Structure 1
Amino acid sequence: MQDPDEKKDLDQFLQKVNDLESIMKDLTSDDPKKQAEAIKKADQKVQSFEATTDRIGFDKTVINKKSFENMAKPEMPPGPQLTEPQMDQQAFLNALDADSKRRAKARKERHRQANIIKEDGNTAFKNGEFEKSVEFYTKAMQVARDLTALYTNRAAAYIQLKKYQAAIDDCEFSLRIDEKWIKAFVFKARALQHMCKFDDAVETFQAIIEIDENKKNMVESFVAEVNNAKRIYELESKAEISVKEEKPEAEGILKVINTLLTRLEEELKVGVDLSGSLMYYAGGLRVLQTQLIDEQSRTLFRTSGGFSLLTHEGCISRCLKSGIENLSIPHHASEVVSAAVALCTAACLNLPENLTLLLSLNQMPEMLLNFFEWSDEQLKRDVVTFFHEASLDETSRKILYKTVDCKRLFKQLLKPKTRKADVNSSASATLCNMLLDQKCKSFLSTNFQQELLPIFHAYLKEVGSSDYEALTLRLKCLGLLLQSKAICEQVSSEDSFRKACMEALVRCVERFKSGLTNPCAMEELLNVIVAILRPSFTPQQCSEVIQHLTILVLKCKHKDLLTQCLVVVSAALEKSKDVSFVTGALMKQFFKHVKQDDIRVRIYSLKILCCIAQQDAMKLETWIKLDKGYKVLLGILADDGSETAKINQGHVALMIGYLANVPGGLDQCDPGDVVRRLLVMCRDSDLKACRANCAIALGKLAKAHPRFLDALREHDGINILARNKPPEELLS
């Protein structure tokens, strides 16, 4: 806590600084009265400085000055007398400047010495010696009282020592030195949070945004932590009240916990054969599980020591550890373990603080992973359910990443060694949830090719011949993994895997031809293919992919599968440049797709049409016949909508440019209408690619026919294009 004398001294110092700033401001004022008043104040300040200077140090004389008090003063000679010179404005400024430099130099030296001591305090803090760090920071303050970091560092140490008010005092004092010192707001809010003053803590954190808007994300994260702490505090308070008021639901939980703990203690003392109590404990744990029905009951379970049932030396703990410590597994042990895992699932449901405590228990993460190896099907179901529930919440997933061997967990969930379809599906769904986080992909990217790819390779061989939900989810997992550049590079380098993908695609197409409208995992397979197509497929292989998918483009009625087919075809066409597969029937189908309301189908259909026209504009003859007056194309240009609508407009602009290369391709166009719409997009679109496509189209139209050149001039198109010229690389 700040010494009162130190506070008083600093206040006086800051006041002097404010006075000098006020004088300097008035000296440079345009108002003569203010200048005169400032000069008067400056003279007074100089006199006070001189008086202060006279008092500095100590008097070494041994002469008794009082003996001269009664001596007569010498008479002054006649004539004009010299008066004491008065310091003018410039002299004052020079004196002030010299004094400022002297003070700055002294201040710099004090800060240097204080920072050396501060580093000793930082070292002590890092070593967990918080009392010692406080001593160092306090010592540094005695050298330099105006160093803000000293106060916030000491505040951090006080928080560790649970001296929260002292931490707040230090933070407030540092803000008197620097009102924009963000660390002071952070540590003050932390102290308020620990004092359960949650609203004040939130308000303090939010004050940071007024100082620096770039800290908004950081503040939001801090506020979320405070709100979570508030939630936990309120739940614990409610749980405590329910116990004091002896509510039946609270008494029921406490009774079961205490009964089981008492039984464990008694058996431990008398040395009873534990195997005879296994079913008793399994039943007790199941009863306790049924009572954990909401957040309050789960909180009471934690605060009442419910998790100690799993660690207390005795029957339950022995069963849980039997697979790890090579102990013999007692008869019916799986019943106890299954009940314990189900209890953990119920206790941790939507309560990250319970999950954190559970996984911090000795060997608990290892035990949970070990249960996958047990042969009991119900136990496997319970373990998978535990991890699946934890994977549904982002906060809980982060806890898993910190405490559990993620790669081992991923392998266990990828091959859970069970024949139960629902367990396999739940395990695969858990993987999909985990792969929503980049951190999980980072964990798995190391040695992915050697450790995990062979497992997916085996599942790939089932695509097109097997039909079960887990297979679809496993291919979806692979698609999510391929979003990682490191993993995609490893997979793309495997020729055997690429070959397996092509074989699976052929099997799926054959099943589609036989009447199966949406073959199992085909959509997910296409997602995998498009991920590895660009970096690893040859132009010839891309052409083969297009040939296989043509039948689906023509006949598929399932929108999601059709969309994914179009995605793959557009990517493959960009690389193969082969448009030999394009027939009149296929162009008619693309025309129907573009007319659809489904935005994604329209986007990729237009993209494919642009790729086709780029290689052979004459393929657009079918479109010219179908789109009378180009109502479809012009309708898309007129769409003033979403980001995807703007992408479509860019594609349409390209198509109009390609139509200029087709004999009679511009006959249906109203030059003024087309040019005007393209110029508006070239001027107003916030997509560079769209503006570039419009500029390219306008150039081709003007070159193809004088009518369009005249329309371009009429609408001031030359100037508009000059002012809104897109990047050169997009015009090439």
Structure 2
Amino acid sequence: MPTKDNLESFLKNIDEITDIIQDLNSSDESHRQEAFLKADKRLALLKNKDNDDGIRTTANRTVINTSPEGMCASGSTYHANKDSRLMQENVLEHLEKDAKERAERRKENTAMANALKELGNKAFSKGDYETAVKCYSEGVEKLRDMQVLYTNRAQAFIKLEKYENAISDCQWALKCNEKCAKAYVHMGKAYLGLKEYSEARKCYLKLLDVDPNLEKLVKDYINTVDLQEANFKQEQVALEELKVAKEDAVSVTQLLQKLSKADQIALYYSGGIRLLTEVVKDCTGQTLFRMNSGFSIIGENKIILRSLDTVQAEADQIDLCESSLNLWKTVCCGNGVKHLSTSLIPNQWLVSNMLLPNSLDVALSAPKPAENQRLFFNNNSVVEKIPSLLSSQVPEIQSKTLALVGVFTDSDYGRSLLVQSMNPHSLLQILLECVRLSDGRASTAMEILQSLSQDEKVKNYMRTNFSSATLPCFILILRTSKVVNREVVLHCIGLLGHLIEDGNIRGQVSESPECWDACMLFLDECSLLAAEEEQRQVLSAILGLMFNLSLEINSAIQERGIAITNKCMNLLNIKDGQVLMRCVGILSRVVPQCPAAVEQVVQRGIIKKLVKLLKAGGKRTSVFAAKVLAVCTKVDSVAKKDMIKYDKQFSTLLSLLHSEDETIVGNISLCLGNCFEVPGAAASLLQTDILKLLLTHAGGDAQTTKVQQNAAIALGKLCTAEPRYMTQLRQLNGIEILHSCMKYMKSL
């Protein structure tokens, strides 16, 4: 029986070891990894067994057996056990040796694979994709489970338009690591190259399974798929119309062929371009323009490029420039096309080509031709002319350039192309100059500025050097507001307001002393306006800007604190609620930064005015007023006395302790605590529920600890100033809360 058991155990071990060796040589990476684990586990068990056995001793168990059969049986058992152990130890020893050799070979192969990867990367960066593929492939031969080799080779295959190979490599990379984000990205691009748009979307969406934080990146990839699918469908429709010889479709291709002729006179090109503009009425026309190299035919023509240099004033050059700008607007616009009169087209085109449609006044709505916009900005020779065209002294050219730029600001995609291709600061400077004009160009420029100023991506581009590059233009408009249209000034203030929603830009603007000076100068001019409604609008706009800028803490505000607070104090008699709210809001942010301003505003009667405003009950105004009162009564003894004088028995402040706004409650508590330092102030409230109110807030569960702290401080000062409150405190079982308040008192 023992012989049979040992033999079965031995054979079982042999089978398992054989399976391990076979799996180690498998081409399937998952099988190899599993075999590695089994081999390591078996080696560990063998080592543990040896350790458990300790020092082995042998004993001569030979016995004299007179039975020949017994002797034979005993001998065979002994030899079988010995042979079994020897074979098992030999196999395991061989397995351990093989594992060490494989580890050494893997180390060498890893080093070689990394070296080949670097060679492939260098070739890829030089655009030598064939060599890159070769290097990555040699690396894969050395190390088949190195995922980066597969993703890098997939990227090179995509460049070579070998999309199926790229997809295969991405699949191998995912076998190495199912969470490989690059594999999904490159696989999506490969499917996009094959025009399998649904599969591309699936690949990109799988990135969210890898990392949910990649949502923005996935959105951008999906947008790219949508754009390319739309382009493909547009091109299919365009080819169908061309195939059935639809008049407009044929006209576009024929006109582009004629316009591709080089070295013609300016009149030839301007006439052809106008005619081409007429037949590009919809998305199909725009697509055919793109498919037939329209952007390169027009944008690379030397005669046309020369006309974009507006220094030249010849009539035919100006005419060609205008017609080109109008064509680009037409092929990049998606809101429908307004056609020109046929009287502007030279007779040679009308007679010789006969390509005009019967109805010229039909303008069909079309989707945004994003691909056309991208191709337009790919032509650097044209794009670099836009700033000078926007500044052209020829009104018609400037107007048409503004219209062209306006096309791109109608969409997120177009705005991104615009600010990536042009210096955003230069663009805004030119547009701010345009808004000072007295005709339709000003309104067009303002619409463009409004669109740009509200785009977060544009703000990101504007951050660098905003204070030195763009801010001076806004400051100039504020300083010269007397000679600028009032509506334009208001719009510019609004534009700057949108831009400073970005914290970085706001910090730069707020640190500018010149900006604060310009704002205060503009405030003085506003006070001279006779029309009450106009004055209200202008004051509200500039105060809103100053209010947002005062959110920052900096030396520019501190140095001008007295001047700023004086301007606001001058406006506290105005009856308009929004103006008052913004004035008090500015005071609540500037006064804490400028101690000298506290004495100034107290002397000018700020306490009396704020108590009056608090009684009026405006919520936002009350928030700001409570903060000003807390700051003033903390550092100025006159402010405390004025508070007692103008708010009899603190009736207004006590009513505000019932407010649901924690900011108001916290600052009112602080203000009361400051006033309790005045002899007799605390005693005047013995007949009120002040103790109960403060106790409630000090021991309450407010979301902000400031409310509890300020109420606790006020409670401590109340009981310190008037010992009779201690009796009430005992009745309310508030001694423990009072003791807990003392830690806040010690911090004062």
- Asked if TM exceeds 0.5, the reply is yes
Aligned positions of 1:646-661 closer than 5 A = 646-658=662-674, 660-661=676-677
Instruction: Name the structure 2 match of 1:230.
Output: 226
Amino acid at match of 1:620: M
Instruction: Name the structure 2 match of 1:346.
Output: 333
Would you say 1:13 and 2:9 are equivalent positions?
A: no
Native 8 Å contact 1:552 1:562 kept in 2: yes
Q: 2:568 aligns with which of 549, 566, 583?
A: 549
Instruction: Name the structure 1 match of 2:375.
Output: 357
Distance 1:132 1:513, change over 3 A: same
Instruction: Name the structure 1 match of 2:431.
Output: 413
Distance 1:225 1:303, change over 3 A: farther
Deviation at 1:518, TM superposition (A): 1.8
Would you say 1:633 and 2:656 are equivalent positions?
A: yes
- Larger radius of gyration between Structure 1 and Structure 2: 2
Deviation at 1:659, TM superposition (A): 5.5
Moved more, 615-624 or 127-136: 615-624
Give me the identity figure in percent. 20
Distance 1:261 1:141, change over 3 A: closer
Instruction: Name the structure 2 match of 1:455.
Output: 473
Residue deviations 1:21-73 (CA, integer Å, cap 9, x gap): 88799x79xxxxxxxxx99xxxxxxxxxxxxxxxxxxxxxxxxxxxxxxxxxx
Instruction: Name the structure 2 match of 1:142.
Output: 141
Distance 1:630 1:479, change over 3 A: closer
Would you say 1:607 and 2:627 are equivalent positions?
A: yes
Instruction: Name the structure 1 match of 2:278.
Output: 287
Aligned positions of 1:18-29 closer than 5 A = 19-20=38-39
Deviation at 1:409, TM superposition (A): 1.7
3-state SS of paired residue (1:511): coil
State how far apart, in whole Å, the 1-side matches of 2:119 and 2:414 are: 38
Q: 1:586 aligns with which of 609, 614, 619?
A: 609
Instruction: Name the structure 1 match of 2:249.
Output: 254
Deviation at 1:694, TM superposition (A): 4.9
The count of aligned residue pairs is 653
Instruction: Name the structure 2 match of 1:275.
Output: 267
Distance 1:612 1:192, change over 3 A: same
Residue deviations 1:106-155 (CA, integer Å, cap 9, x gap): 43332122111111111111111111111111111221222221122212
TM-score under structure 2 length normalisation: 0.73
State how far apart, in whole Å, the 1-side matches of 2:607 and 2:28 are: 91
Aligned positions of 1:56-75 closer than 5 A = none
State how far apart, in whole Å, the 1-side matches of 2:285 and 2:269 are: 26
Residue deviations 1:61-117 (CA, integer Å, cap 9, x gap): xxxxxxxxxxxxxx9998995523638999999998887666444433321221111
Deviation at 1:413, TM superposition (A): 0.9
Amino acid at match of 1:307: F
Would you say 1:311 and 2:299 are equivalent positions?
A: yes
Native 8 Å contact 1:324 1:367 kept in 2: no
Instruction: Name the structure 1 match of 2:57.
Output: none
Deviation at 1:479, TM superposition (A): 4.7
Native 8 Å contact 1:512 1:518 kept in 2: no
Distance 1:192 1:666, change over 3 A: farther
Distance 1:716 1:165, change over 3 A: farther
Amino acid at match of 1:384: L
Instruction: Name the structure 1 match of 2:259.
Output: 264
Instruction: Name the structure 2 match of 1:119.
Output: 118
Deviation at 1:542, TM superposition (A): 2.0
Distance 1:238 1:504, change over 3 A: closer
Instruction: Name the structure 2 match of 1:56.
Output: none
Amino acid at match of 1:651: N
State how far apart, in whole Å, the 2-side matches of 1:384 and 1:496 are: 30
State how far apart, in whole Å, the 1-side matches of 2:76 and 2:237 are: 97
State how far apart, in whole Å, the 1-side matches of 2:740 and 2:26 are: 65
Amino acid at match of 1:287: E
Amino acid at match of 1:171: C
Native 8 Å contact 1:167 1:187 kept in 2: yes
Residue deviations 1:329-351 (CA, integer Å, cap 9, x gap): 63634542452354255259744
3-state SS of paired residue (1:415): helix
Residue deviations 1:399-433 (CA, integer Å, cap 9, x gap): 12221133322221121286335422432443344
Residue deviations 1:562-602 (CA, integer Å, cap 9, x gap): 44323322222212223222356512442145x235xx434
Deviation at 1:203, TM superposition (A): 3.5
State how far apart, in whole Å, the 2-side matches of 1:197 and 1:283 are: 38
Native 8 Å contact 2:204 2:222 kept in 1: no
State how far apart, in whole Å, the 2-side matches of 1:709 and 1:304 are: 89
State how far apart, in whole Å, the 1-side matches of 2:268 and 2:112 are: 71
State how far apart, in whole Å, the 2-side matches of 1:176 and 1:721 are: 64
Amino acid at match of 2:378: S
Instruction: Name the structure 1 match of 2:166.
Output: 167
Amino acid at match of 2:374: T
Would you say 1:404 and 2:400 are equivalent positions?
A: no
Would you say 1:620 and 2:620 are equivalent positions?
A: no
Deviation at 1:296, TM superposition (A): 6.6
Deviation at 1:487, TM superposition (A): 6.6
Native 8 Å contact 2:124 2:156 kept in 1: yes
Amino acid at match of 1:582: G
State how far apart, in whole Å, the 2-side matches of 1:355 and 1:227 are: 15
Q: 1:387 aligns with which of 401, 405, 420?
A: 405
Instruction: Name the structure 2 match of 1:63.
Output: none
Instruction: Name the structure 2 match of 1:577.
Output: 598
State how far apart, in whole Å, the 2-side matches of 1:97 and 1:617 are: 88
TM-score under structure 1 length normalisation: 0.74
Residue deviations 1:607-648 (CA, integer Å, cap 9, x gap): 223223333334433675497586742442xx3xxxxx4544
Native 8 Å contact 1:445 1:486 kept in 2: yes
Amino acid at match of 2:571: L
Q: 1:669 aligns with which of 680, 689, 705?
A: 689
Distance 1:131 1:582, change over 3 A: same
Native 8 Å contact 1:588 1:622 kept in 2: no
State how far apart, in whole Å, the 2-side matches of 1:165 and 1:345 are: 34
Amino acid at match of 1:339: N
State how far apart, in whole Å, the 1-side matches of 2:250 and 2:220 are: 35
Moved more, 396-405 or 418-427: 418-427
State how far apart, in whole Å, the 1-side matches of 2:161 and 2:489 are: 53
Instruction: Name the structure 2 match of 1:504.
Output: 522
5+ residue gaps, structure 2: 1-23, 50-71, 336-366
Instruction: Name the structure 1 match of 2:387.
Output: 369
